[in-house]
Chain A
Amino acid sequence: MKEHIKKNAHQYRLLGLLVILLIVMGILAPGKFLTVKNFKNMGFQMAEFGILAIGMSVVIMTGGINLSIVNSAMLASIVSAMAMRTLYNGGEGMADIPVILIGVAITVVIAIACGMINGFFVAYIGVLPILVTLGTQTVFDGIALNITRGSGVSGFPKLFQKIGAGTLGQIPYTMLIYVVVIVVAYLMIERSRWGISVYMVGGNEKATRFSGINTKKTIMGVYVFSAVLSGLAGILMTSRYNSAKADYGSSYTMQAVAATVLGGTSINGGSGHVLGTVIAVAIIQVISSGFNILKINRNFTDIATGLILVGVLALNHFVNKGSLKKRVRVSVK
């Protein structure tokens, strides 16, 4: 147990911070913050960003980055929204359920295609991920703009809104989907053979290749996995906003990188935990919602988020320094 805590010290520190934030917000906004209503509300909001952040984390674990994650989500959503609109035809066309199933399928297929394009350039051509995704980000955004001419696409079955707005008892569906994504991502990355190869590629790609692992396949898989999650987030966003548009979620890209690094994943790859990212996302959500409820000027939310980012990681530095002094450490990454 002690060993476990030591190994995951960063995550426990984050968890501690989250608890402190919850308590502080609860005291500052009595009767409002620590309520079922607010938690439900945060559950609705957190899922789409959380899923994107996990998609980003997996890529960063291999030492890459996926700047196109939001754009692939929106491109997939737009194509599927257009298809759903045509099929549904304002109620004249197909029934609700088949329309939605086709829509979801199209989103996932397009997202996978986007992921394969990224994966192809990174794994098989060998271009740096930041360059590839900078390019594909522009292309995906361009296609989305081109086919929509900048306007939103809506007009699908009312039932589709249920995905983003419905609840099971008090728990939002979005939250349930998010939990499933967390569990699947955790099992795939931290408990599977494939996951080990992901970390290995991030640590040292060449050594991994020489050890007999098909690193190209691993990298391709990572980008496809990231894209599938982006597609899922796209479905949630389309449902929650009842439309798909080229610029939705434009603020999520850098935030997802920040959440990943705050969660303890090294930007150079080779390390990191899904749960770290999940806790980081929760921290960002609590600050954001809490400040809104406290009627604090929105600009201070940005300031507080920035300070917490820096503060938490600076804390790591001091703690690590302290423990270094006590004993000589053999560092194996």
Chain B
Amino acid sequence: MKKVLAMIFVLAMLVSSVAMAETIVVMPKLVGIPYFNASENGVKAAGEELGIDARYVGPTEGDAALQVQMIEDLLVDGIDALAIAPNDPDSVSPALQKCIADDVLVLDWDTTANGDDVTFSVHQIDDKVLGETLIDLLVDQIGEEGEYAIVTGYLTAANLNTWIDAGQAYAAEKYPGLKLVTDPVPSDESQQEAYNQTMALLQAYPDLKGILGYSTPAPIGAAKAVQEKGLNDQVAVVGTSMPNDSSEYLKDGSLDYAVLWDPAQLGKLAVYVAHLTLNGEELEGYEVPGVGPIHVEEDGKTIIMGPPTVWTAENVDNYDF
């Protein structure tokens, strides 16, 4: 019996000690939604290009508790680097500190984690810029004066709240004529709920000139309601959405602008930054295939991919994701 146990033990040690390729884990807020699904493709592509084990694992629900558990489980498995899109920066902080204690390189991507927890911060764009861009695009449609409403994903979504807050601060200063009629309305990341809420908003505020949709299903649901009420020309809809899902609505004019970036490029960039850092290579100016040169901001930490892409009826067919 003892012998068998010893054998199993030796075998186990052997298996686990087989020199593994560099393992980089990219963790989204959740898997199984189009946005994070698109970034998975970028992560996989980067893994193949670099010949490393680039894994994409995340919880099936956007619950911070599940994310923490996954990080802890990954540590048991053993990894070299973790790039995380935290559901909530504070909640993952203790788990990320455990990673650092285990000599795992930690980055954040998509959504900012707490500064002390990460070596680099890889971002699609500046949160502030996105928030402001959305307001500018709205103004482009409705002018500098008028009523508008916000339909968001969840009231608890940290990144959406950051964009909303940045946009509000900007609007208050630059466009005092704009009037947000009510606090952001949640749509639970569901098109139907966004549709219902927009219908109610249109009834509640007959002078409404624009709707800002945050989270990918929200602008589509809002556009559907506007389209159905035949208000394409009276009410502008601007929001963060993927080109394929929004193309029909952009073309019929119910959705005026869709703003986002290519999530695949972002996933790819995150893997490259992790890989280069693990191997002690210089980041600044490194040309990531299909993405462009890396530029590290002055804080020596933040890496921003570029300005957001704005899709309109004209250019939406040039994109496929």
- Chain B interface bracket (under 10, 10 to 19, 20 to 34, 35 or more): 35 or more
Secondary structure of the B contact surface, majority rule:
helix
CB of B154 within 8 A of chain A? yes
Chain B residue numbers with a CB within 8 Å of A301 are 60
Give bound CA distance, A303 to B31, whole Å: 15
Q: Which of B155-163, B217-225, B229-237 contacts A (4 or more CB under 8 A)?
A: B155-163
* A165-B94, A245-B64, A295-B57 known; A151+B73 contact, CB < 8 A: no
CB of A293 within 8 A of CB of B13, answer no
Q: Check A32 against B77 for contact (C-beta < 8 Å).
A: yes
Whether the Cβ atoms of B72 and A44 lie closer than 8 Å is: yes
- Given the known interface contacts A247-B156, A302-B60, the answer about A292 and B91 at a Cβ–Cβ threshold of 8 Å is no
A242, CB-defined interface residue at 8 Å: yes
A32 to B76, Cβ gap below 8 A? Answer: yes
Q: Is residue B200 contacting chain A, with contact meaning CB distance below 8 A?
A: no
A98 CB within 8 Å of chain B: no
**Residue contact B58 to A292, C-beta cutoff 8 Å:** no
Of A44, A154, A242, A293, most buried by chain B (CB within 10 Å of CB) is A242
Interface size on A, residues (CB 8 A): 43
Whether a CB of chain B sits under 8 angstroms from the CB of A237 is yes
Q: Say yes or no for A273: interface residue by CB 8 A criterion.
A: no
Within 8 Å by CB of A292, from B12, B73, B78, lies B73
Q: Which of chain B's residues has its CB closest to A153's CB?
A: B90
Give Cα A154–Cα B94 distance, bound, in whole angstroms.
12
Does B288 sit at the interface, judged by CB under 8 A? no
Binds B, one of A109-117, A249-257, A320-328: A249-257
Question: What residue of chain B has the Cβ atom nearest to residue A165's Cβ?
Answer: B94
Query: Which of B63, B91, B154, B158 is within 8 Å of A251, CB to CB?
Result: B63
In the complex, which of the residues A38, A48, A247, A249 has the most CB atoms of chain B within 10 Å of its own CB atom? A247
Question: B139-158 interface mask toward A, CB cutoff 8 Å, 1 = contact, 0 = none?
Answer: 00000000000000011111
* Chain A residues within an 8 Å CB radius of B88: 152, 241, 243, 245, 248
Residues of chain B within 8 A of A151, CB atoms compared: 156, 158, 161
| Assembly CA distance A245 to B154 (angstroms) | 13
The reply to whether B58 and A245 form a contact with Cβ atoms under 8 Å apart is: no
User: Chain A residues with Cβ under 8 A from B69's Cβ?
Assistant: 45, 288-289, 292
Residues of B within 8 A of A208 (CB): none
A302 (CB) vs chain B CBs: closest residue: B60
| Cβ of A150 under 8 Å from chain B | yes
Interface centre among B8, B93, B94 (most CB of A within 10 A): B94
The answer to whether A251 touches B65, judged by C-beta atoms less than 8 angstroms apart, is: yes
Indicate whether A35 reaches chain B with its CB closer than 8 angstroms.
yes
- The verdict on B180 contacting chain A, using a C-beta distance below 8 Å, is no
Q: List the A side residues contacting B90 at CB < 8 Å.
A: 152, 154, 241-243, 245
Q: Is A145 an interface residue (CB 8 A)?
A: yes
Q: Which of chain B's residues have a CB closer than 8 A to the CB of A242?
A: 90-91, 93-94
Contact B94 A35 (CB under 8 A): no
Residue A149 CB within 8 A of the other chain: yes
**A145-B156, A293-B76 known; A245 vs B60 contact (CB < 8 Å):** no
A289 to chain B, nearest CB (A): 5
Q: In the bound complex, what is the Cα–Cα distance between A246 and B88 (angstroms)? A: 11
Chain A nearest CB, measured from B54 CB (Å): 13
- A266: Cβ under 8 A from any B Cβ: no
- Cβ contacts A to B, 14 pairs, < 8 Å: A30-B12, A31-B15, A35-B76, A37-B75, A48-B65, A240-B68, A241-B92, A241-B94, A242-B93, A243-B88, A245-B91, A289-B69, A289-B73, A293-B76
